[in-house]
Amino acid sequence: MTQSQQAAGDIVVIGGGIAGLTFALHMHARGIPCRVYESAPQVKELGVGITLLPHATREFCALGLEDKLRAVAIENRESVFFNRFGQFIYKEDRGRYGGYPFPEFGIHRGKLHRVLYEAALERLGPQALITNHGCTGVDQDENSVTVHFRETSSGAQLPSVRAAVAIAADGVNSTVRRQFYPDEKMAFAGINTWRGVTRCKPFLTGRSYVRVGNIETGKMVIYPIVDDIDGEGNQLINWMAEIRQPSVSMNDWNKPGRLEDFLPIYADWHFDWLDVADMIQHADQILEYPMVDKDPVPRWTFNRVTFMGDAAHPMYPRGSTGSAQSAIDARTLVDQIANHADLREALQAYETLRLAPTAKIVQTNREFPPDYLIIKVDELSGGKPFRHIDDVISQDDLRTLSENYKKIAGYSLETFQPAAAGAPAAH
């Protein structure tokens, strides 16, 4: 069957990223066919690190992928917060070490994508995963939706695809979302970031996810993503530098980062548990990104088209929430498709379940992200070194701040208790 001859009963997924592939795998598990159209000519292991929190790994474990992920990831043991002077603020156990029924992984984004892609290729077959197809727009009528494509590598127009519904999982710069919200802009608040990976000796437990400083004076997120990368005990450490500079312009996307643009901020970050400045200078790769998101929109679903993942709710890359929300979107949408005879009703039911919770996370990541703990401590200490954290704020108060974020993001420990007992988890 050629693409132009496809029946209008097909379900088409636009975008083969985390959301699109997770959706396809859940569809296969339910015995429901779909096709995924990816703009990239070929799948490559691109990007830097990503953290899979327990509510993300829950989704991937349900697809039988835990062992595949564990083989290429590091299981996080703890999350630790420091101020910009390297002074300890707060720590907590993570994943299974913290009593969750699922692990927390640090992993290269490209390796996560590879695991999902290879699983989809094996289970759905190559005929269901079509690359080199960049979506240029959609048309729809009462009976079907038609998706239009160009070949990414050449720009040539490709045959359009007719389907029953189309799922737009084409990322933060979604072509489909732009069609329905043509005047929408990226929200940039003067925060730029630089992300890199460095080979160095393990720090702290060797399984520690660390946040240091805040965006006003310089912030870093640091965690390992590959163990013993060179046979000499070194790890591949993922890091992200972040600072608010309202007077500067927005960084480019995935452009090679220049040390001179941000290293001076961290030049004196030589701590007894890690030499941050040295880690930055010896990076294998540095990329620059703007810290951007989009304002939540009032609807995702337009008759036979809906948004999913970053196309639905672009959010700041804080708190490791983006990948988890994409995976939850995918499973939720498949659940609704399986439970509704009318696909349009399924798309609307999915939106009803997911739009409001993700909008709240977008707003929280802007205003009260996980590193709000550090911001609060800096406010109380006047941004100066302290003798001991207990002189500034109690550990109980810090724990409350941490738990409040987890509840909004959907991964507080109590959220998992029904799942641990064998009942469906709340989201």
Q: What's the rounded Cα separation, in Å, for the pair 202 and 274?
A: 9
Residues in contact with 178: Cβ distance below 8 Å, sequence separation at least 6, in sequence order:
184
The least confident of 42-46, 195-199, 423-427 is: 423-427
**Strand 187-200 with 235-244, pairing:** antiparallel
Average pLDDT over the chain, rounded to an integer? 90
pLDDT of residue 342: 95
| pTM for this entry | 0.89
Token digits for 269? 């970050």
From the CB of residue 284, how many other CB atoms can be counted at a distance below 10 Å? 12
Q: What's the rounded Cα separation, in Å, for the pair 273 and 281?
A: 17
Ordered structural domains, the chain, with CATH: 3-67+107-185+295-365 (3.50.50.60), 188-293 (3.30.9.30)
Q: Does pLDDT of 182 surpass 50?
A: yes
Mean pLDDT score, 12-18:
96
Per cent of the chain over pLDDT 90 is 74
Predicted confidence (pLDDT) per residue in 189-211, tens digit: 788 899 999 999 999 999 999 99
Q: What's the rounded Cα separation, in Å, for the pair 413 and 419?
A: 11
Q: What's the rounded Cα separation, in Å, for the pair 106 and 236?
A: 11
Q: What's the rounded Cα separation, in Å, for the pair 279 and 92?
A: 24
Q: How far is CA 55 from CA 147, 214, 216, 320, 379, in A?
A: 32, 26, 30, 11, 31
Decide: 65 and 49 in contact? Cβ < 8 Å: no
Mean pLDDT score, 236-256:
83
Decide: 300 and 351 in contact? Cβ < 8 Å: yes
pLDDT of residue 119: 98
Per-residue burial over 13-48, b = 16 or more CB atoms within 10 Å of its CB, e = otherwise: bbbbbbbbbbbbbbbbeeeeebbbbbbbeebeeebb
Q: Does pLDDT of 391 surpass 60?
A: yes
Q: Which long-range contacts link 284-287 to residues 24+ away (Cβ below 8 Å)?
A: 284/196, 284/197, 284/198, 284/199, 284/236, 285/48, 285/196, 285/197, 286/194, 286/195, 286/196, 286/256, 286/257, 286/258, 286/259, 287/48, 287/194, 287/195, 287/196, 287/254, 287/255, 287/256, 287/257
Decide: 352 and 79 in contact? Cβ < 8 Å: no
pLDDT of residue 4: 35
pLDDT of residue 418: 54
The least confident of 212-221, 390-399, 405-414 is: 405-414
pLDDT of residue 254: 67
Q: What's the rounded Cα separation, in Å, for the pair 63 and 264?
A: 45
